[in-house]
Amino acid sequence: MTADPFKSTPYWWDGCTFSPPIVRPVVPKCDVAIVGGGYAGLSAAIELARAGRSVQLFDRQALGQAASSRNGGMASGSIRPGRKELIRRFGEARATEILMEGKAAREDLWAFLKEEKVDCDFHLSGLFVGAINADECEELSRSADLLRRLLGIEAHPVARLDVPTYIGTDFYTGGFVRMDTGGLHPAKLLAGILRVATATGAVIHENTAVTGTIAEAGGVRLRTSRGDVFARKVLVCTDAYTDGFDPWLRRRIVPVRSRIIATEPLGEAAMDRLMPKRMMYGDMRQLSYYYRPSADGSRILFGGRDGTTAGDALAPTTHLRSELGRIFPELEGVGLTHSWFGQVAMHRDMVPRIFTSGDTVYATGFCGSGVVWARWLGKKAAFKILGEAEKAQSAFDFDPAPKAIPFYRGKPWFIPLVYSLYEWRDKRAMRRRQPEEKRP
Ligand SMILES: Cc1cc2nc3c(=O)[nH]c(=O)nc-3n(C[C@H](O)[C@H](O)[C@H](O)COP(=O)(O)OP(=O)(O)OC[C@H]3O[C@@H](n4cnc5c(N)ncnc54)[C@H](O)[C@@H]3O)c2cc1C
């Protein structure tokens, strides 16, 4: 066990640095201005610049500071609501389209990595999702069946006796495996997308905040910290880092902290016991945890909610470490090398969306699943701006925008209440375990 304290920067940042920003003059006029330089904004910039549009992208920070280089690198393209809920909200046809688009989006990412030679340690490892009671096992079994039938995805339920084939724990009473999910190094992915975007001629202004927008005839005037810009179209890709520059969007997006801890190197024998297939992992709990081996397979990265809104990393880190120990008792009190957080964007829909307001298009609200979706919907938004109807076609492109959250102006006062409700539901789900499902 190493002596904590741990680093508070992402594990991914060790050995992956972004070049210092090149400072270019802000040009007063362009075809498209993009706000936000994560996967979404940069991927949109590639398509727009390749189509011959003059593009300026603004990020208020140096690139590589926000969610796109802080995440877990699980390339799942998952959607929070289940199919039943999607059907209830959007109808059967759209629910099916949403699931089908996930497949297309994942495959598009794999193709991009290959074509653009982006080396980001991508491995199509598969995903194991654990169940904690018989009801969840049944639900996962139905999901596996649906993925196979509807999308032809290799997926199957895992019975309790077979769980150790995938994960060294008796915490789960079963689960399911889908083989269309992979793991990658998120910061290397961002660096790769940035390299491609820069080569297209899109002008990227780092450390340049957009502080406000004003609708004008034929476009939008943006106020930036380095001068005004008039753009015919604006694309907003600020996700959980949306600040006061767009109060309308801010009332719709709730930034929530997600934290990841990295264990010390565990040794090959322990990794073989705990993660024999070196897959991506998650479970069905409302306050679920996501975890995976590092790209070199030497340690475990374990992520989940961070209920704090400021300061102290110790309490949420201790909480995550004890949850890790609950799944893998031999890791109780394990040494940590890193513990960091980033923000994920939640909203009332819990489905990523493209929507419009005047000459501004939004591709945002990824609800903690943006490795596949942010890049994909950034591209789709670009095609929409280009007027390329066929390529822009997406089940996620629909107005009106997600509804504003009542009594919310940027301070998520209700999060503790939501967490308490989720915690109560998770405890209830644990109580539903049959006696034979409980740990000896
Ligand atoms: C800890 C953590 C773990 C996660 N794990 C996973 C995972 O395993 N798999 C997965 O699929 N997803 C995961 N996610 C979610 C995923 O990282 C995000 O959905 C995705 O990176 C969002 O990309 P983006 O381009 O929309 O936004 P971001 O990468 O967050 O970029 C938004 C940018 O907007 C800029 N900005 C904001 N306001 C302004 C302004 N006024 N002017 C200029 N710039 C501005 C910010 O500086 C920021 O750089 C995780 C997220 C976190 C935080």
- Map out the domains of the chain as residue ranges: 11-431
Q: What spacing in Å lies between the alpha carbon of 183 and ligand 1's midpoint?
A: 17
Instruction: Assess whether pLDDT exceeds 80 at residue 438.
Output: no
Give the residues surrounding ligand 1 with Cβ less than 6 Å away: 35-41, 58-61, 66-68, 70-74, 76, 209-210, 237-243, 245, 258, 260, 290, 303, 342-344, 364, 366, 368-372, 374
Task: Round to whole Å and give the CA distance between 197 and 203.
Answer: 9
pLDDT of 31 reads 98
Query: Residue 243's beta-bridge partner residues?
Result: none
**Shortest-distance Cα residue to atom 52 of ligand 1:** 71
Q: Is the dihedral of CA 309, 310, 312, 313 positive or negative?
A: positive
Query: Residue 281's beta-bridge partner residues?
Result: 128, 291
Task: Round to whole Å and give the CA distance between 298 and 268.
Answer: 7
Q: What spacing in Å lies between the alpha carbon of 68 and ligand 1's midpoint?
A: 5
In CATH, the architecture of 11-431 is: 3-Layer(bba) Sandwich (3.50)
3-class DSSP assignment, residue 116 = coil
Chain segment 336-371, per-residue pLDDT in tens? 999 999 999 999 888 999 999 999 999 999 999 999
Pocket test for ligand 1, best of 26, 184, 239 (most atoms within 8 A of CB): 239
Residue 105 backbone dihedrals phi, psi, to 5 degrees: -65, -40
Using alpha carbons, select from 178, 188, 126 the residue that is nearest to residue 153: 178
Q: Where are the alpha helices (DSSP H) in 291-438?
A: 314-327, 373-386, 389-392, 415-431
Mean pLDDT computed over every residue of the chain = 93
Q: What spacing in Å lies between the alpha carbon of 195 and ligand 1's midpoint?
A: 18
Rg for the chain, CA atoms, rounded: 22
Ramachandran class of 350: left when φ > 0, alpha when ψ lies in -120 to 50, beta otherwise: left
Chain segment 230-261, per-residue pLDDT in tens? 999 999 999 999 999 999 999 999 999 999 99
**Is the preceding omega at residue 400 within 30 degrees of 0, hence cis?**
yes
Residue 440 pLDDT level (bands cut at 50, 70, 90):
very low
| 331 DSSP assignment | G
Residue 311 pLDDT level (bands cut at 50, 70, 90):
low
Q: What spacing in Å lies between the alpha carbon of 107 and ligand 1's midpoint?
A: 21
Using alpha carbons, select from 220, 217, 218 the residue that is nearest to residue 246: 220
Q: What spacing in Å lies between the alpha carbon of 239 and ligand 1's midpoint?
A: 6
Chain segment 287-297, per-residue pLDDT in tens? 889 999 999 99
